[in-house]
Chain A
Amino acid sequence: MSNENQQSLVSSLYERFLKNPWPYYTGAVILAVLNVALLAASGKPWGISGIFNYWGGMIVELFGGSVENWLFFKNPKHLKLLHKGFWGNPGSVRDFAIIIAALMTSLLAGQFKFKMIKSWRQFAAAVIGGLFMGYGAMIAFGCNIGGLFSGTASMSLHGWVFMVFIFLGGLVGSKILVKYLL
């Protein structure tokens, strides 16, 4: 193979795998395979947001606060896992890896960019939306990964109930978005 051909092969592979977004079905298949692998290997369904309880607890303890009276940490299993620390908690390592991988993806694609906050409305919407999502995920015992994705993948009823209501929530959210954020 000539040098020129090699170069064009490398750049076409780069474009295809790192630069351009993958089709949705590629992501779906990879997620499905990894989900089965994780469930088979660890015996627990995949979750994201439950870990934020532990991260929150760690931050509070880091500043000398006590979380032992929190309802969540009154469960001795939760407290024990909290004290295994950041790297002793498999879910915590996974969440950290997701953040690093997402950063790497945008850096490798040459698409990393700090984005400006466009308006106070956008700022307020992001803060309020984030609080709602976090609070909702905690009282629902899972976000769209632990609650919806892992739920439906294991044919648990709660995942399908989650799906119906996330759809309704999305409808309301998009009405609010069109009314206040355009």
Chain B
Amino acid sequence: MQEKELDCLGEACPIPLVKAEKAMNTLEVGDLLIISIDHSCAMKNLPEWARDNGHNVEIEETGEGQWEVFIEKCK
């Protein structure tokens, strides 16, 4: 199992989503992608996109207006 971190702090929508999509394509099933974001709309569209594509998602609030989104590649 591989873990990949993606620093999207300071990036506005839809850049975190596009970057996550790209990074996901380089990962294998079972791998974990951790995306740091501080744009609240990414907190909505990233998990939505990942769940729609059948991946497991968890969000952790790491600070004021700052989150880490964990996406486990499931297929």
Binding site for B on A (CB under 8 A): 21, 106, 109-113, 115-118, 122, 174, 177-178, 181-182
Which residue on B lies nearest to A178, using beta carbons? B18
State whether the Cβ of B11 lies closer than 8 Å to any Cβ in chain A: yes
Docked Cα-Cα span, A112 to B40, in Å, equals: 10
Question: From DSSP, what is the main secondary structure of chain A's interface residues?
Answer: loop
A121 to chain B, nearest CB (A): 11
Question: From DSSP, what is the main secondary structure of chain B's interface residues?
Answer: mixed
A177 near B64: Cβ-Cβ < 8 Å:
no
Across-interface contacts of A113 in B (CB, < 8 A): 38, 63-66
State whether the Cβ of B15 lies closer than 8 Å to any Cβ in chain A: yes
B38 near A182: Cβ-Cβ < 8 Å:
no
Which residue on B lies nearest to A125, using beta carbons? B12
Please, what's the 1-or-0 string for B14-41, where 1 marks a CB less than 8 Å from any CB in chain A?
1100110010000000000000001111
Q: A106-B65, A115-B10, A115-B39 are in contact. List 14 more A-B contacts (CB 8 A).
A: A21-B40, A109-B40, A110-B64, A111-B40, A113-B63, A113-B65, A115-B9, A115-B38, A118-B10, A122-B11, A174-B14, A177-B14, A177-B18, A182-B22
State whether the Cβ of B75 lies closer than 8 Å to any Cβ in chain A: no
Please, what's the 1-or-0 string for B33-75, where 1 marks a CB less than 8 Å from any CB in chain A?
0000011110110000000000000000001111000000000
Docked Cα-Cα span, A181 to B12, in Å, equals: 11
Across-interface contacts of A118 in B (CB, < 8 A): 9-11
B10 near A111: Cβ-Cβ < 8 Å:
no
Across-interface contacts of A106 in B (CB, < 8 A): 40, 65
Across-interface contacts of A177 in B (CB, < 8 A): 14-15, 18
- Some 16 contacts from A to B, beta carbons below 8 A apart, are A21-B40, A110-B65, A111-B40, A111-B65, A112-B65, A113-B38, A113-B64, A115-B39, A116-B10, A118-B9, A122-B10, A177-B14, A178-B18, A182-B15, A182-B18, A182-B22
